[in-house]
Amino acid sequence: MKTILLPYIEKSLDIIVMVGIVAVSTALGYFFRRQVFSRLTRWARKNDTPAGDIIFSAIKSPFILFSLMMGLYIALEFSEFSKKIVERTEKGLSILAIIAVAMVSANILSGYIKIRAAKIDSRLPVTSLTENIIRIVFYSVAAMIILNHLGISITPILTTLGVGGLAVALALKDTLSNFFAGFNIIVARQIKVGDFIKLDTQESGSIEDISWRSTKIRTLQDNFVIIPNARLSEMIITNYNMPERDASVKIQMGVHYASDLAHVEKVALEVASSIMKEIPGGVPEYEPLVRYHTFDASSINFSVIMRAKTFADQYLITHEFIKRIHRRFDREGIVIPFPIMALNNTQEGFVASPQQEQPGSDGKIP
């Protein structure tokens, strides 16, 4: 009886040993991924080492897969399975290794391009679309290598894909249209991620991402506007980040006819210069301008021109300038005119008629 059961017991022990080796290898992989790689990634970020951060992050994702493969390979060395089973298992491990290498390579290249794009004005800005294209290329190459490894000729497959491609293109016409429109937007570089734009439909905001189907725009109200790429490529777009990221801030004002225009210009320039140097978003090296341009009904109008680092910074600059110029004009005795409405009592009742302001002896409106 023992002689009969002995082969089954040995085989069961062999399987238990294999499962134990695989379990230990996978557990060690999980430990290293959770403890060692997490600490290495934090160290790379703390010491401002982008290359290390990219490599550690790229290896961290498939590391458990590597550990599982290593455990299976070691377990096969201790097993007494037939040569046919071992060969098939090793072939499966080779396929997993190809997939893991493709995953790591795609992650490393995507991270490297993202860093380069942050340092220089990249010819191909990194978005979800470009990252997906990189992964598709690597996974396609990996798929062809796997097919070749399995002894499957890829020529008939490519021929079949070429014939069936037309049917797929017709079925996915809108999807492909958005995909190629998004790719064209990225390559043309007329708009890119981070640009503040305004559409001909009056929506405005900064571009958050350009994916394979749509472009995501974050408005100043912190909402998202999602626009299909094909439709975006046909719109009239104002890009406030081109040709330069700085934005002009023009504020229209008016002072009374009795004002000393040279003094008004001096005061306005002093206030505008302080805004440029003290308010976040101002361009400190920019010299503000004051330009008179209109003899209006009750005022001489002029423009104060300043500069903001980004389009969105103009709102805080305008807000602070209005507060400071109002306080300074009041202190300097400079009058900012405003319309006056007079009520005349007639037989038909009260009739409103506008009147032009007239300064008093001190130059102020009575």
Boundaries of every domain in the chain: 2-152, 177-239, 244-366
pLDDT reported for residue 243: 80
- CA 255, 260, 262 angle in degrees (round to 5)? 100
Are the CB atoms for 215 and 229 separated by under 8 Å? yes
Is this model's pTM higher than 0.75 or not?
no
Q: Which CATH class is domain 244-366?
A: alpha beta
> Of 54-68, 120-134, 182-196, where does the model show the most confidence?
182-196
Q: What is the pLDDT of residue 341?
A: 64
Mean pLDDT of the chain: 77
CATH architecture type of domain 177-239: Roll (2.30)
User: Which CB contacts under 8 angstroms, 24+ apart, belong to 205-208?
Assistant: 206/312
- pLDDT-above-70 percentage for the chain: 71
Mean pLDDT calculated for residue range 37-52: 68
Residue 60 has pLDDT above 80, yes or no: no
State how far the Cα of 68 lies from the Cα of 96, in Å rounded to an integer. Answer: 10
- Which pLDDT value is given to residue 346? 59
Q: Which residue has the higher pLDDT, 92 or 3?
A: 92
288 compared with 144, residue with greater pLDDT: 288
Asked if pLDDT for residue 168 goes beyond 70, the answer is: no
Look at residue 301 and tell me whether its pLDDT is greater than 90: yes
Mean pLDDT of 106-119: 71
CA separation for the pair 274, 324 (Å, rounded): 10
Q: Is the peptide bond before 243 cis (omega within 30 degrees of 0)?
A: yes
